[in-house]
Amino acid sequence: MQSLLDQTYPQLAETLAKEGEKSFRASQIFNWLYQKRVAGVEEMSNLSQGLQNKLSQSFTLKREKPQKAQQAKDGTIKFLTPLADGLQIETVILRHGDHNTVCLSTQVGCGMGCRFCLTAKMGLKRDLTPGEIVAQVLNAYDLLPPGEKIRNLVYMGMGEPFHNYERVIHSLMIFTDPQGFAFSWRRITVSTSGLIPEIIQFGKDQRAKANLAISLNGVTEEARQQIMPITKKHSLTKLIQACEAYPAEKRERITFEYVLLQGVTDSLRDAKALVKLLSRAKAKVNLIPFNPHSGLEFAAPTPARVKEFQEYLLNHGLPATLRSPRGQGISAACGQLAAQRKKENETEAV
Ligand code: SF4
């Protein structure tokens, strides 16, 4: 049976219209689902019994619940959700005092093979449905203390979002719908490893909008190919051209994520090349010092090198922020999601 959480507002409105229902019913249902976050159709008390029955016959509202949630010392929560077919995904809640950011997965595993990423080691198992993407935010709300809000969403968990393009667009439609969660698109970021046709399509897509982030991590074709095999198919040159042509709004910049790997991507020569590479794009850089993990061959850059690298970019007019390490002790940092059960010492249950 189809999940009600898979339905975008236009899809639901169309389904209801075919049943002879008034259009405002779709607004009411979205409100129940995403504002009041009810667990069952029977709780939607302003719908007639007849409509409740019809919904229950056509859709399920069943959502897989997190089975294992862990909290790091900095408050970051990582939770694992077993899906209906037995596969598992991980989601991370980044806590920032008065507001929270949820890092969403879009696939089980990932087929992109980035060498600095643990998810890549799983390979691609399957795409998530829009409902499975949306349910991660509902589950995150269930884990947060009452009254705490989720303000930002980042599509940076397991998977390459643009490899699951249509379903990701549908999830964005649900998140930004004014009747649903009503997130501003400016508070949502979709991060891609660089699928050029989808970047172009996303720039034109009238159905949904979000900030765009590119996982860059290399400043020459050869350097990027070595750590991101996708570069063989989608060259760095063409990727940067697509970004330069991207129809960003006033004040909107594309975020280029750049993982600093000791001795691989962290030299001053790399910083210099990065400034040159992005000179014509509306760009800002987010530097990510590598989070070492036993399953991966790279080492973290020294703090001095990180500082030097960032200063070079800033001194040459390229906005550059530093991602502070989050979720240490629970492997919740960027590139560490692998949906594997493992021994966790420095954690406490949520
Ligand atoms: S970094 Fe992102 S795109 Fe690359 S393998 Fe990991 S999940 Fe996939």
Structural element, H or E, at residue 30:
helix 24-30
Q: What is the pLDDT of residue 98?
A: 73
Does 90 qualify as catalytic in the annotation? yes
Closest Cα to atom 4 of ligand 1: 114
- CA angle centred on 160, ends 10 and 70, rounded to 5°: 95
Q: How far is it, in rounded angstroms, from Cα 126 to Cα 106?
A: 9
Domains annotated for the chain, with CATH where assigned, are 2-60 (1.10.150.530), 68-349 (3.20.20.70)
Q: How far is it, in rounded angstroms, from Cα 154 to Cα 213?
A: 10
pTM: 0.93
Q: What is the pLDDT of residue 97?
A: 79
Closest Cα to atom 6 of ligand 1: 117
Q: How far is it, in rounded angstroms, from Cα 149 to Cα 99?
A: 6
Query: Which atom of ligand 1 is found nearest the CA of 118?
Result: 6
Ligand 1 centroid from CA 109, angstroms: 9
Q: What is the pLDDT of residue 350?
A: 45
Closest Cα to atom 3 of ligand 1: 160
pLDDT in tens, the chain (350 residues): 899 999 999 999 999 999 999 989 999 999 999 999 999 999 999 999 999 999 999 999 989 999 888 999 889 999 999 999 999 999 999 998 778 999 999 999 999 999 999 899 999 999 999 999 999 999 999 999 988 999 999 999 999 999 999 999 999 999 999 999 999 999 999 999 999 999 999 999 999 999 999 999 999 999 999 999 999 999 999 999 999 999 998 889 999 999 999 999 999 999 999 999 999 999 999 999 998 887 788 999 999 999 999 999 999 999 999 987 766 665 665 566 666 544 443 333 44
Pocket test for ligand 1, best of 89, 104, 106, 112 (most atoms within 8 A of CB): 112
Ligand 1 centroid from CA 335, angstroms: 7
DSSP 120: G
Ligand 1 centroid from CA 234, angstroms: 15
Query: Which atom of ligand 1 is found nearest the CA of 192?
Result: 3
Ligand 1 centroid from CA 285, angstroms: 18
Q: Which of 110, 114, 117, 334 is catalytic?
A: 334
Residue 165 and residue 173 in contact, taking contact as beta carbons nearer than 8 Å: no
Q: Which of 14, 43, 90, 257 is catalytic?
A: 90
DSSP 34: I
Site residues for ligand 1, CB cut-off 6 Å: 110, 112-114, 117, 119-120, 158-160, 193, 215, 335
Does 221 qualify as catalytic in the annotation? no
Query: Which atom of ligand 1 is found nearest the CA of 193?
Result: 3
Query: Which atom of ligand 1 is found nearest the CA of 156?
Result: 2
Distances (CA, A) of 284 to 85, 102, 320: 40, 21, 6
Ligand 1 centroid from CA 117, angstroms: 6
Look at strands 188-192 and 150-155 and give their pairing: parallel
Closest Cα to atom 7 of ligand 1: 159
Ligand 1 centroid from CA 334, angstroms: 9
Q: How far is it, in rounded angstroms, from Cα 76 to Cα 92?
A: 7
**Widest CA span in the chain:** 68
Query: Which atom of ligand 1 is found nearest the CA of 107?
Result: 7
Ligand 1 centroid from CA 68, angstroms: 23
